[in-house]
Amino acid sequence: MQKHMQTKHNISSEKSCEGTAKLYLVPTPIGNLEDMTFRAITILKSVDIILAEDTRTTSFLLKHYQIEKKMFSHHKFNEHAKVEQIVRHISEGKSVALVSDAGTPGISDPGFLLVRTCIEHDIDVECLPGATAFVPAVVNSGLPCDRFVFEGFLPQKKGRLKRIEQLADEERTMIFYESPFRLVKTLIQFAEVFGYNRRACISREISKLYEENFRGTLQQLITRYTDKPPKGEIVITVAGKQDY
C-alpha cells in the first residue's frame, strides 16, 4: 500500500511540473535509448523550450519518444552569448530543459554556466537523475569505488602533464574521459607517472552493442590498444596509489 501511494505521489509530482518556470537538466541515454527514464520523457514533453547540444542528435531522440517541442542549440561555442536570453525566457514564465548529446548536462558538457547564471537570478534549477558514463565505468572496473575522484577530460595540450603529475599521490580511484585517438598516448603518460604496473580499466561504448571493459595493468592496456586501436566513447579508470 505504501509503495502504491509513493508511486501515485511521484506521478502527481511529474504532472505538476507542467507550466513551472524553471531550468531542468535532463540526462539522455549514453548508448541504449531505453536508458531514458519515464520522468525525463515527461519533462521533455511538458517544457516550453528544449536546449540541445546538437539539435540533430536530440531530434532523433525526440522522434523516438514522439516529442514535438521548440528546440534551440546550446553548446560550448554559443553558451556565453545565449545565457542571458535563456534566463530572460525563464523569468518571463517559460520552462526550459537542457540536454546534452549523451549523459547528464554539466558533466564534461555544457551546463555549468547556465546553472550558475540561473542561480544568480534566483531561478529554480532541477537536475534529474539519470545516465552518466563514469558511474558504470568505475563500478565495472573492479577497482575500489567507495571513494573516487572524477577528472573528466585532461587538458589536450598546455597543463596536461602537470595535471597528471599532480595526481601521482592520489589515493582514490581516478576516472578520466578520453578520445580513442589519444588513448594510447594518455596511457603511456599515466604509466610514466603512476608506474607501468598500476591497475586500470578501459570502459568503451558503455550501454551500446559493443560495450567492453578491459582490465589490467597500464602496460597491458598500452599493448592491447596499440595493437588494436579503439573506437567509440572511452572512460579510463585508474587505481589510486594506496590500492596499488
pLDDT digits (tens, 9 = 90+) for 34-75: 999 999 999 999 999 999 999 999 999 999 999 999 999 999
CATH architecture classification, 2-127: 3-Layer(aba) Sandwich (3.40)
Give the β-pairing of 125-127 and 96-99: unpaired
**Pairing state between β 234-238 and 173-178:** antiparallel
**Per residue in 82-127, pLDDT tens?**
999 999 999 999 999 999 999 999 998 889 999 999 999 999 999 9
Domain map (residue ranges) of the chain? 2-127, 134-238
The per-residue pLDDT for range 124-135, each reduced to its tens digit, is 999 999 999 999
Q: pLDDT: is 244 or 181 the higher one?
A: 181
Do 195 and 188 contact (CB within 8 A), yes or no?
Answer: no
What architecture does CATH give domain 134-238? Answer: 2-Layer Sandwich (3.30)
First to last CA, the chain: 49
The letter for the amino acid at 178 is E
28, containing H or E segment: none
What is d(CA 107, CA 175) in angstroms, rounded to the nearest whole number? 13
C-alpha 212/C-alpha 111 separation (Å) is 29
User: What is the pTM (predicted TM-score) of this model?
Assistant: 0.86
pLDDT at 17: 52
Question: pLDDT class for 156, splitting at 50, 70, 90?
Answer: confident
pLDDT band at 166 (very low <50, low <70, confident <90, very high): very high
- What is the rounded average pLDDT for all residues in the chain? 91
SS3 33: helix
Q: Residue 242 has what pLDDT?
A: 77
CA-based R_g, the chain, Å: 20
Enter the DSSP assignment of 156. S
Residue 119's CB: how many other CB atoms inside 10 A?
A: 12
Smallest CA-to-CA distance from 241 within 163, 152, 151, 174 is with: 174
Residue whose C-alpha cell is 573516487: 148
